[in-house]
Structure 1
Amino acid sequence: MRDVALAPPTAAPALTGGLADSLFDRAERDPARPLAAYRPDPARDHWREVTAAELRDDVVDLARGLIASGISPGRRVAVMARTRYEWTVLAYALWAVGAEVVPVYPTASREQVAYILRDTGCVAVVVEDEPGAMTVGSVCAQLPALRHVWQLDAGGLAQLAARGEAIPREAVDSLRRIVLPDTTAVIAYTSGTSGRPLGCALSHRGLASPCDTLLAGWGHTAAPPGEQGRVLAFLPFSHVYGLMIQGLCVRGGLLLGHEPEVGEQALARALRSFRPTYFYGVPSLFEKLYKTFLRTAQQTGRGALFERAAETARAYAAACERQRLGRGSGPGMELRLQHAVYERAVYRRLRAALGGRVGRATSGGSPLSRELSRFFEGIGIPVHDGYGLTETSGGITMQPHGREKSGTVGRALPGTEIRVAADGEILVRGPSVFLGYPGDREATRRALRDGWLATGDLGRLDAQGYLTITGRKKDVIITSSGKSVAPAALEERLRMHPLIHQAVVVGDNRPCVGALITLDPEFLVHWRAGLTLPGDVPLREAREENALREEVARAVAGANSTVSRSESIRVFRVLPEPFDVASGLLTPSMKLRRDAIVRHYAQDIEAMYAARAPLPRPVTEDPAVWDDGDDVFR
């Protein structure tokens, strides 16, 4: 068992109360500092900035309304809305009165909403719009504890604040001062990728700890010296990653922009108008950005230029990495000159797509590929890849500043310990580990072992303490020959191809590894438009399908080149439509529900393996060689 415990925590302020205290303290010390921003009119690019004093006053007004409505310490209130300014006000108002926040994805199904509200015993729920109100209304009969439903778009918060006008402001301060650091602040539900979601009790201390540690050690990277950091929040606060970004901004005095729309066009517009200095996202977002850059370049006749620039960026970043890790002298003269040429011709234009001011970024939710990490670093936006879980209140690793190592998720945050057990499972101990699963003692017992959290993730630690995530224990595939295969690396490499949107590796109790693949709809349209195939319509369509099959086969061969032959994908099938949340094949945080996908596409999987041709040649040790008869495309 490899065990790494890093240095004691850096000088972060000790938490003595609850999360709301940081806002009230900031408003007292620096009332005019902008802390939040939103667009009053989504159709316009004007952002209204809210000062610390104004945000505190909005929180107090709402907290008074909560008190008048009977929301007392320990009561649970669900928030079912997109990433809006009101979400932040609600969270801090609830924490100010000692209540517990239960985040619910606004796209959650009727059954999911009923389960979470019933499981937590929520006494109130805040929804965003009429569809949300109807969803809650349809399950009210199953929720005997539910007393209030407030709707944002119907003026619910204004009505709530008006109800509290008779409550003195001192009542809020009195309740806020009795909130203890180790009381529960949030009941956050796991993604439920492999079963029923579990509610995780996260304390005020647990949520504050990673924020304060990151601010103490990395806060200076959020903006150029002397400037206030600006972060655009667009990932849902319903996920612990979004909550951590919210906490980082409020506790660190950064300007938190709220963008509820996550579509490509809306997000691009928000980035250009808000102009963040720090960017954060999940790997799929960084993959999408890269593919958008490539597609745009190809559509304007600059595809070859972009590909040369991307290769130079990766080479430049790799040389810089070797230098900072003491393994090389850095980029040579020729590489520096090439990089300088592409900086003027390409890289600055790519940074402009993110607003032009982003200096660094963070990726979380799942590991970021080495190729993407080096690409973004090479164009001038180093991406810090971190690791965390709902059960750890967010991040527990980060890349050491100036010692970043691509392909890893960095090292344990100061004060956090990480072990890798004999079976490869990652174990964690530290101040941000959750309090348990309320109402499920057995699940809590399985997860917490002698103070260590069994994460369910697989990984390895190198000699310097850098952690590499290799997959999930429950995702490991065992073929009929007994070969164990972790699918994450293969799926990650497949998604790097511009045409491939999603990939799920299968093969449990099968003779070989297979893959279900979906295509990127936008890039597919662009790819088809670029084909010049002769012949009449039926002949062109057949040739197009053959060309598409060959392109996907090349992507599969590229993924296979990174693993042994026994681990390589020998059969695959392209599905007609992507996995999505509505079909139950993705979680609201966009993670694959593998078991559900395998059940849903059981017939396709059977047909894929049934069509597999026998191997005509002896097995070769070359992982890049695989038989044409082994792939199935439909």
Structure 2
Amino acid sequence: MNETHVPAAVPADPTANTTDLLEHRVAATPDKALFAVPDGAGGWSDISAREFRDRVARVAKGLIAAGLQPGERIGFMAKTSYEWSLVDFAIWYSGAVMVPIYETSSPAQLAWNLTDSGAVGIITEDAAHAARFDEVRGELPDVRISYRLDEGALGKLEAAGSDVTDEELESRRSAAVGTDTATLIYTSGSTGRPKGTVLTHANFVELSRNTEAAIPEVVNSDGTTVLFITLAHVFARFISVLCVQAGIKVGHEPDTKKLVQALGSYQPTFLLAVPRVFEKVYNAAEQKAMAGGKGKIFSAAVHTGVEYSKALDTGHVPLGLKLKFAVLDRLVLSKLRALLGGRATHAISGSAPLGEFLGHFYRSLGLQILEGYGLTETTAPATVNRPGKFKVGTTGPAMPGTGIRIAEDGEIQVIGIPVFKEYWKNPEATAAAFTEDGWFMTGDLGSLDEDGYLKITGRKKEIIITAGGKNVAPAALEDPIRAHVLVSQVVVVGDQKPFISAFLTLDAEMLPQWLATNGLPPMNVAEAAKDPKVRAALQEIVDQANSHVSRAESIRKFTVLPYDFTIESGHLTPKLSIKRHVILADLADEIEAIYSADVNTGGLSVAG
């Protein structure tokens, strides 16, 4: 199959905007909890739909009083929190347009987003964020509005807006229609300078309503979730809007080190995460089991669980496997399930392929990971697995109101409800992103099976063509290597070179436990990169990944770096994807060193 279309499940309303979702929610269930915030004693305090809407209105009036005009852009830089969603809807109610800025952005990145968007204001969270703004403030003469959350910005806005009438607020709130701009999200810049992606009110409204209709088992008013990935990214931002539409109660925990504690107290019914989070949870559980002398039973439970999940796909689970799984589930897997809060039955994963092993592993815990596919330009989900339409290893069928097709060169193209309007003031880039018949060209490579399920195989721009003419998709090698407990990041190289090589970084968080489990003394990342036993383990990991590809596609040499790639170093995007073009530029000398050496030296080296 090369093309598939799924009709919309909900009639479109071209007059609706995002604020209508909250208005409808308040009308339907005014007293139902829509958010929960930490109560300071390890629990959570509920905030009803009416309470949320009333405070949104007061903050919006404050923005109007501050002089923010309809259609004007205002930047927002803060961690994931209840206040993030409050400000988001308040800006919409005021008739303005938010430009979300990642809390990890540098002053230069912040300046670009505000300058390019023509923003007239900014709201920051704390002194650190404000300092970055102050560093470039002289370059931003159009920015006339500035607030800080930790200096009581919300209270000040509420007080300032006391003279704004309800009639003025309603006029602002209801003015936008579906085709109007709802937000301006700048791409993470993994392939170059960020472009402003214009998402409309219809993108959020129609996609939210159709998603609720498509996945009622997960998206319903009995649902609860904890958001911990950044709301500046379209993935979490869409989910937060979807939860308002569906009446799902949302908590927030920006500190992933406190995530297990938050899950235990909040007990969500579904989770939202990127694959790296699921990898980390698995790796941490594995290392804890090994450190406690329970490595063998953990391994047996995982192997049996994966085998059990695979058997479910065949429609028949042998009795012996059922019995074995029941025992190991009680002894091991049920304890892992409790770490996720005990109530979670589904998770939504996006931004990168999850991998079949983890998909089957989590399914054996009773957590069905609904892997999806999308980009900023598709308002997040273009395809998603559903509880009743689910295939491990795929990103599922198209969402309602969406079409997916595969071009002759394997590129995934999308049309329909979720597709963005344009790149902000960049008609050349907009024209280059669409085919003549209106399909958005994603730049990703994939295939559709006979049932219309999409499988991602790589990025078009990342395809490596060796000197021998072999096309290699880096993801096929990088994903399984990165999933190992020892590895933090991996970057495959070899374009126009005689063979494929790779750079690996070690996971500093997982390294101490791995060293202890394997009888090695404590050492830092730089020391471990040179240790023979660590290097031998990495060789085994690479060999395992190589076993799934041809020799021409396999990694012949790899280098272990004495440091890691980070957001702060400029090598990772805020959603933890590698910035390949930046890494390749920064490692140009190391890459040259690999290929200037004798091809037959083989194996592994250590940089630095």
TM range (shorter): over 0.9
Opposite residue 477 of structure 2, the aligned amino acid is: L
Letter in 2 for 1:245: I
Check if 1:256 corresponds to 2:255.
no
Instruction: Decide which of 445, 457, 461 is 1:458's aligned counterpart.
Output: 445
The CA deviation at 1:470 is 0.8
1:90 aligns with 2:57: no
Distance in 2, Cα, partners of 1:590 & 1:496: 14
C-alpha distance in structure 1 between counterparts of 2:54 and 2:422, whole Å: 33
Alignment of 1:368-517 (within 5 A): 368-449=354-435, 450-517=437-504
2:268 counterpart residue number? 276
CA distance in 1: counterparts of 2:21 and 2:149, whole angstroms: 25
Shift, 1:378, TM fit? 1.2
Deviates more, 1:23-32 or 1:409-418: 23-32
- Name stretches of at least 5 consecutive residues in structure 2 with no aligned partner: none
One-letter amino acid matched to 2:82? Y
Which position in structure 2 is the counterpart of 1:130? Answer: 127
1:612, distance to aligned residue in structure 2 (A): 4.5
Shift of 1:209: 2.3
Contact 2:99-2:185 at 8 Å conserved across structures: yes
Amino acid at match of 1:275: Q
Residue 79 of structure 1 aligns to a residue whose secondary structure is strand
**2:53 is the alignment partner of 1:53:** no
Distance 1:573 1:176 in 2: 55
CA RMSD of aligned residues (A): 1.9
Preserved CA contact (<8 Å) 2:16 2:205: no
Q: Which residue of 2 aligns with 1:167?
A: 164
Task: Name the structure 1 match of 2:232.
Answer: 238
Q: Deviations over 1:365-385 (max 9, x none)?
A: 111101110110011101010
For the residues of structure 1 that align with 2:255 and 2:152, how far apart are their CA atoms? 20
TM-score calculated relative to the size of structure 1: 0.92
Preserved CA contact (<8 Å) 1:386 1:399: yes
> Could you say which residue in structure 1 is the equivalent of 2:605?
632
Q: Is the 8 A contact 1:612 1:631 kept in 2?
A: no
Tell me the equivalent position of 2:506: 519
Between the aligned partners of 1:481 and 1:233, the Cα distance in structure 2 is 46
Helix, strand or coil: the match of 2:64? Answer: helix
Q: Check whether the contact 2:528–2:534 (CA below 8 A) recurs between aligned residues.
A: no
Q: Deviations over 1:146-188 (max 9, x none)?
A: 1111100110111111110011122211222222111000101
Question: For 1:207 and 1:474, how far apart are their aligned partners in 2?
Answer: 28
Q: Secondary structure at the match of 1:256?
A: strand
Matched-pair contact (CA < 8 Å) for 2:291–2:516: no
Contact 1:533 1:544 in 2 (8 A): no
Q: Say which SS state the counterpart of residue 370 (structure 2) adopts.
A: strand
1:298 lines up with 2:290 in the alignment: yes
Task: Tell me the distance in 2 between the aligned counterparts of 1:234 and 1:15.
Answer: 32
Does the 8 Å CA contact 1:222/1:277 hold for their aligned counterparts?
no
SS at match of 1:429: strand
Residue segments in structure 1 that go unaligned for 5+ positions in a row:
324-329, 616-628
Equivalent residue runs for 1:570-581 within 5 Å: 570-581=556-567
Instruction: Report the secondary structure of 1:257's partner residue.
Output: strand
Equivalent position of 2:110 in the other structure: 113
Q: Given the alignment, which residue of 315, 322, 325 partners 2:307?
A: 315
Residues 332 and 194 of structure 1, relative CA distance in 2, 3 Å threshold: same
Match of 2:222 among 228, 232, 246: 228
Q: What CA distance in whole angstroms lies between the structure 1 residues aligned with 2:261 and 2:181?
A: 37
Contact 1:321 1:404 in 2 (8 A): no
User: The residue matched to 2:540 in structure 1 has which SS?
Assistant: helix
CA distance in 2, matches of 1:530, 1:400: 39
- The answer to whether residue 5 in structure 2 is matched with residue 5 in structure 1 is yes
TM-score, length basis structure 2: 0.96
Q: In 1, distance between residues paired with 2:327 and 2:17?
A: 51
Shift, 1:461, TM fit: 1.0
Q: For residues 91-150 of structure 1, what are the alpha-carbon distances to aligned partners after superposition, in whole Å with 9 as ceiling and x for unaligned?
A: 111111221111100110000000000000111111000111111122122112111111
**Matches of 1:70 and 1:347 in 2, distance apart?**
56
Which secondary structure does the structure 2 equivalent of 1:573 belong to? Answer: strand
Partner residue of 1:350?
336
Alignment check: 8 A CA contact 1:282 1:364 kept? yes
Q: 1:543 to 1:32 in 2, by over 3 A?
A: closer
Cα distance, 1:480 vs structure 2: 1.3
- C-alpha contact 1:103 1:238 (8 A) present in aligned 2: yes
Q: In structure 1, what residue type is equivalent to 2:550?
A: S
Q: Secondary structure at 1:554's aligned position in 2?
A: helix
Q: Tell me the number of residue pairs that the alignment of Structure 1 and Structure 2 aligns.
A: 602
**CA apart distance, 1:359:** 0.7
Among candidates 578, 581, 604, match of residue 590 of structure 2? 604
| TM-superposed deviation, 1:604 | 2.3
Pair 407,612 (structure 1): closer, same or farther in 2 beyond 3 Å: farther
- Stretch moving more, 542-551 or 431-440: 542-551
> Contact 2:178/2:201 (CA < 8 Å) preserved in 1?
yes
Aligned partners of 1:179 and 1:604: how far apart in 2?
A: 53
The AA in structure 2 aligned to 1:445 is A
Question: How many Å apart are 1:544 and its aligned residue?
Answer: 8.6
Deviation at 1:543, TM superposition (A): 13
Q: For residues 48-70 of structure 1, what are the alpha-carbon distances to aligned partners after superposition, in whole Å with 9 as ceiling and x for unaligned? A: 21000100010010011111111
1:33 aligns with 2:19: no
Please give the alpha-carbon distance, in whole angstroms, between the structure 2 residues aligned to 1:31 and 1:12: 25
Write the mapping of 1:334-349 to structure 2, written as runs, cut at 5 A.
334-349=320-335
Separation in 2 of the partners of 1:602 and 1:399? 40
CA contact under 8 A between 2:539 and 2:603: conserved in structure 1?
no
- Look up the match of 1:619: none
1:234/1:532 CA distance change after superposition, 3 Å: closer
- The AA in structure 2 aligned to 1:236 is T
Q: Which residue of 2 aligns with 1:21?
A: 20
- Tell me, what secondary structure is at the counterpart of 1:309? helix
User: Percent identical across equivalent pairs?
Assistant: 41
